[in-house]
């Protein structure tokens, strides 16, 4: 069982907060697609895994014509074994999702949409430099719901000058539509973004961490009242609507990444493709190495299990630690985790440790104290 992630490295315009890999020039589009198809062929050699999920992420996959998405799916289905009912997700931006485009997509193999709404508040959308406004965001969800029930939307909270009231009004829109899935991320000020330069120049002031947590806690309580399961730090879903693709990452299953900057994991090695469109095309065309890779040690695997366990509702099981890593790892974990159980950031049920709402928010910091270090 495996998943395929396709990174579409193009966007219409750069959002002020984003440091994912993308280009706003489409001049290499055709060659990137052809190189991706070649990469699909290369990575299919000797691979007999059943593909259960395909995920088009980015960048902005909805920026591509549906025929271009179909061409990529077609090449995957010719080279890989696909399960009978795969989850095939496309990340889409509201300004691309006209009613005609949604209808077109619904006639393709795409059976799940992840729409980058970010906010229903026009002031916030402007500050983010999104290419849509709140009216377009709402209209595109209405159009999408005519053809899809497996829809997720992305939101960002903890925006400068936001408060519980502005955040509640964003969440009210999600619960009023009873959407089946939402991913909501706390804003991070990433290096080399416009937002970072605004902060450095004192044009904007990041929200205080306590106020960001207040919004996170409010969201968890509200979504739980509306029967959403917070199955990962930022992910909320109705029963039966967990993202199979994302769950596979968190359960450390294998996936094949295609396209510039895409990451892959084969159970032993993690690899990452070059994050530059022109270099990616050049290396693939000239049969050169287009990725770097690293072998995970048992310590890396333990650290990843602890990290994902703290962020997800599957948690960290002592039996799993004992069976997969041995008693010394289990002992190390038990000794270190006790402090977080005492401070109510982690709770234990039978032999499974899961984070509380605050614990999930602080998962990175807690994990760093539970990690082992490669010597």
Ligand X SMILES: C[S@@+](CC[C@H](N)C(=O)[O-])C[C@H]1O[C@@H](n2cnc3c(N)ncnc32)[C@H](O)[C@@H]1O
Residues forming the site for ligand SF4 (CB under 6 A): 11, 14-15, 18, 20, 22, 58-60, 93, 116
Tell me how far, at minimum, the Cβ of 24 lies from ligand SF4, in Å. Answer: 9
- Nearer Cβ to ligand SF4 (186/321): 186
Phi, psi of 18 (to 5 degrees): -95, 130
14 binds, among ligand SF4, ligand X, none (CB under 5 to 8 A by kind): ligand SF4
> Which of 2, 60, 134, 303 contacts ligand X by CB under 6 A?
60
First to last CA, the chain: 33
Binding residue for ligand X (CB under 6 A) from 20, 147, 218, 291?
20
Select the binding partner of residue 89 from ligand SF4, ligand X, none (C-beta < 5 to 8 A, by kind).
none
Which residue number is nearest to ligand X in terms of Cβ? 116
Interface with ligand X, residue 18, by CB under 6 A: yes
Q: Strand runs (DSSP E) across 175-304, as ranges?
A: 181-186, 229-232, 235-237, 254-258, 263-265, 269-273, 291-295
Helix axes 66-79, 29-44, angle to 10 degrees: 20
Site membership for ligand X, residue 58 (CB under 6 A): yes
Q: Which is nearer to ligand X, 47 or 131 (CB)?
A: 131
Tell which residue, 29, 15, 18, has the closest CA to residue 64: 29
Is-contact 17 198, C-beta < 8 A?
no
In the sheet that holds 254-258, the strands lie side by side as 229-232, 235-237, 181-186, 151-157, 112-118, 81-92, 50-58, 2-8, 254-258, 263-265, 269-273, 291-295
Q: How far is the CB of 60 from ligand X (least distance, A)?
A: 4
- From the CB of 28, what's the least distance to ligand SF4, in Å? 16
Q: Does 69 bind ligand X (CB under 6 A)?
A: no
Q: How far is the CB of 230 from ligand X (least distance, A)?
A: 16
Q: Contact with ligand X (CB under 6 A): which of 9, 86, 116, 309?
A: 116
Per partner kind, with CB cut-offs from 5 to 8 A, the member of ligand X, ligand SF4, none near residue 154 is ligand X
Comparison of 156 and 366: residue with beta carbon closer to ligand X? 156
By the 8 A CB rule, do 5 and 262 touch? yes
Quick one: 23 or 44, whose CB is closer to ligand X? 23
Which residues have CB under 8 Å from 348's CB, separation 6+?
Answer: 341
Where in 117-146 is the site for ligand X (CB under 6 A)?
118
Q: Angle 298-311/318-325 helices, nearest 10 degrees?
A: 170
* Least distance CB 58 / ligand SF4 (angstroms): 5
Nearer to ligand SF4, 15 or 223 (CB): 15
Question: Hey, which bits of 207-330 come out as E strands?
Answer: 229-232, 235-237, 254-258, 263-265, 269-273, 291-295, 316-317
In this structure, are residues 96 and 61 in contact, taking their beta carbons and an 8 Å threshold? no
DSSP 362: T
E runs forming strands in the chain:
2-8, 50-58, 81-92, 112-118, 151-157, 181-186, 229-232, 235-237, 254-258, 263-265, 269-273, 291-295, 316-317, 346-349, 352-355
Could you say which of 53, 93, 121, 235 contacts ligand X (CB under 6 A)? Answer: 93
Say whether residue 17 binds ligand X (CB under 6 A).
yes
* Min dist. Cβ of residue 118 to ligand X (A): 6
* Interface with ligand X in residues 179-238 (CB under 6 A): 185, 187-188, 190
Q: 190 touches which of ligand X, ligand SF4, none (CB within 5 to 8 A by kind)?
A: ligand X
Integer-rounded Cα radius of gyration of the chain: 21
Which of ligand SF4, ligand X, none is residue 156 near (CB under 5 to 8 Å by kind)? Answer: ligand X
Residues found near ligand X in the complex (CB under 6 A): 17-18, 20, 58, 60, 91, 93, 116, 118, 154, 156, 185, 187-188, 190
């Amino acid at each position: 069982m495996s998943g395929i992630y396709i990174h579409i490295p193009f966007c219409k315009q750069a959002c002020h907060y984003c440091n994912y890999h993308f280009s706003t020039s489409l001049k290499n589009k055709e060659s990137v697609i052809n190189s991706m198809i070649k990469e699909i062929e290369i990575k299919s050699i000797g691979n007999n895994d059943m593909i259960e999920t395909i995920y088009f992420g980015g960048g902005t996959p909805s920026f591509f014509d549906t025929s271009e998405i179909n061409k990529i799916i077609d090449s995957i289905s010719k080279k890989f074994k696909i399960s009978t009912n795969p989850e095939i997700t496309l990340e889409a931006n509201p300004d691309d999702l006209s009613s005609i485009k949604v209808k077109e997509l619904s006639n393709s193999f795409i059976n799940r949409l992840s729409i980058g709404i970010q906010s229903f508040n026009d002031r916030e959308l402007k500050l983010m430099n999104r290419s849509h406004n709140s009216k377009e965001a709402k209209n595109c969800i209405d159009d999408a719901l005519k053809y899809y029930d497996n829809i997720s939307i992305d939101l960002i909270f903890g925006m400068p000058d936001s408060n519980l009231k502005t955040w509640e009004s964003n969440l009210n829109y999600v619960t009023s539509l009873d959407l089946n899935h939402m991913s909501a991320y706390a804003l991070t000020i990433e290096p080399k973004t416009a937002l970072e330069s605004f902060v450095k120049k004192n044009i904007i002031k990041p929200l205080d961490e306590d106020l960001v947590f207040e919004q996170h806690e409010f969201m968890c309580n509200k979504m739980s009242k509306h029967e959403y399961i917070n199955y990962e730090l930022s992910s909320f879903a109705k029963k039966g609507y967990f993202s199979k693709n994302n769950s596979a990452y968190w359960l450390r299953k294998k996936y094949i990444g295609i396209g510039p900057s895409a990451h892959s994991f084969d159970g032993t090695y993690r690899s990452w493709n070059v994050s530059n469109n022109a270099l990616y095309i050049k290396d693939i065309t000239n049969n050169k190495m287009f990725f770097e890779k690293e072998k995970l040690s048992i310590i890396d695997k333990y650290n990843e299990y602890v990290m994902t366990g703290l962020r997800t509702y599957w948690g960290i099981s002592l039996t799993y630690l004992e069976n997969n890593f041995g008693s010394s790892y289990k002992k190390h974990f038990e000794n270190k985790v006790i402090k977080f159980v005492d401070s109510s950031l982690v709770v234990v049920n039978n032999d499974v440790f899961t984070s509380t709402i605050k614990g999930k928010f602080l998962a990175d910091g807690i994990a760093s104290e539970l990690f082992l270090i490669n010597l």
